[in-house]
Structure 1
Amino acid sequence: MSSIANTPQPPYYAVIFTSLRTEGDNGYTEMADRMAVLASEQPGFLGIESAREAVGITVSYWSDLESIKNWKANLEHLKAQKLGREQWYSSFKTRISRVERDYGIY
C-alpha cells in the first residue's frame, strides 16, 4: 500500500481511519494487509492509501455510502474491528467524507 490511489472523477467517498497503536504487533500487520486485500474485492471499492507511523492513517475510497456500509458489516472485517478494539488500538477515529474535488500529479 505504498502508492496513491487512482480514484475516478468526484464525487465519491473517503473513509478516513486514524489510530494510535498499542505496543507489539500481535498479528496486526498480517490482518491489516488482509483487510486491504479484502476491501479491494468489495463492490464499490475505489482504492486505499495508508501510512503507519506514530499515528496510523488509512484512507479507503468508495463509490457510495451503501458500499461503505456493506464493508463495515463484512464478517471478516467485523472480526478485525473487534480485535482492534480489544488489542491493537489505544484509540481510533473513523470519519466518512464525500470527496467533491481532487487534483494532483500521478
Structure 2
Amino acid sequence: MIVAHLPDGVCRIRITTEPMFSRSEFVPLILESMLEGERKLLIDLGLVSMLHSPSLANLVTIHITLAKRDNEMILTGLHEKNLRILQITKLDRLFTVINAA
C-alpha cells in the first residue's frame, strides 16, 4: 500500500497487494492513513486484478465510515472486470468511480 497526501485535503492510497486488501485489518489501516483535515480518500485499484467478497465488504465499510464523517471515498483505476463486479453487485450506485483503467 502506497499512501500520498495530496493538496486540497485528498489522501490517495494505491493498493499494491490483493491479499492485504481482503484482510480485516485493512479497514483500520486505511482510515488511520488519512490525516486530520483530509476529506477525500482516493483508492487506486489499478493493481487489483479481482475484487472478492471480503474486499467489497471492506470498501463498503470504509465508504460508510467516511460518509458518517462527511468525507468521500473515490475509487479509481478499476479494470473492466472489476467495474463489472461493481455493476453486478449494484455497488456502482454506492461508490464514486472515476478514471477506469
Which of the two has greater strand per residue?
1
Which is higher, the Rg of structure 1 or of structure 2?
Answer: 1
Q: TM-score, normalised on structure 1?
A: 0.29
Q: Greater share of helix residues, 1 or 2?
A: 2
What TM-score results when the alignment is normalised by the length of structure 2? 0.29
Structure with the larger RCO, 1 or 2 (CA within 8 Å, 6+ apart)? 1
